[in-house]
Amino acid sequence: MNWVRHFNERLADLKVDQSLYEARQWKSKGTSSEVDLLRLEKALGFNVPTSLRAFYLSHGAFASEWFGDERETVDVFTPDEIGEMGVGLAKAINLHWGVRPEIQEDLDSGTIERLNGMTTVFGIRHIDSNQCVYYYFNRKGDIGSLYLDQDDMEWTLQEMVRISHDAPSSLELLEQLLSSETEAMLEVE
């Protein structure tokens, strides 16, 4: 399935106003090459999950036109973007929101280190100014998502601890993740 075309057609069918359509529509960043993926794997020290590899080779990364400026926008990073950032979940949250004191105060350094060492963030859905969903994969090849509400970090912190102990949160197949995220983003008010 071409996820960019699928989402944009579904969004157009909703007949939202033009500015909202333009803000939310997905733009392809182009397909990735095997060389791009091998370079990323070398930088990470572990393999990209098979389903994500196939996705990058056949569809490529994509982002909403105005990622982060509007609610319900998304950015799925290219392998090069992932390699440049090379971030696990805790680091990604701190980069995205500024250093979150809850992470440093409620999680011990071993948990943060394990979490960053075993996960790699490959995308973010910006729900609104307080909430987002991080898409990640781990060293075992699992794909998952982590919901964060910056005004209520308790659940997120508990999930981060679970993930750091190799009990991934919201493990999904890539196809399921994209399907559920597409549907959530199409719920236009």
Question: pTM (2 decimals)?
Answer: 0.86
Strands, E assignment, 8-50: 26-28
CA angle 66, 136, 189 (to 5 degrees): 40
Answer for the pair 88, 121: CB distance below 8 angstroms, yes or no: yes
- The residue among 4 and 163 whose pLDDT is bigger is 163
- For the chain, give the mean pLDDT: 83
- Domain range for residue 51? 3-185
**Of the candidates 146, 26, 122, 11, which has an alpha carbon nearest to the alpha carbon of residue 74?**
26
- Residue 101 reports pLDDT greater than 90: no
> Total structural domains in the chain?
1
pLDDT at 128: 85
- Residue 188 reports pLDDT greater than 90: no
Q: For 152-171, how does the pLDDT look when each residue is reduced to its tens digit (9 = 90+)?
A: 899 999 999 989 887 655 55
d(CA 185, CA 73): 7
> Tokens 């919901």 label which residue?
147
What CATH number is attached to the domain comprising 42? 3.40.1580.10
d(CA 170, CA 144): 5
| Rg, Å, the chain Cα set | 16
Q: For 26-50, how does the pLDDT look when each residue is reduced to its tens digit (9 = 90+)?
A: 788 989 999 999 999 999 989 999 9
Query: Other CB atoms closer than 10 Å to residue 63's CB: what's the count?
Result: 21
pLDDT at 123: 93
**Of the candidates 119, 52, 58, which has an alpha carbon nearest to the alpha carbon of residue 79?**
52
Q: What would the mean pLDDT of 76-94 be, rounded to a whole number?
A: 88
pLDDT at 189: 46
Query: Other CB atoms closer than 10 Å to residue 122's CB: what's the count?
Result: 27
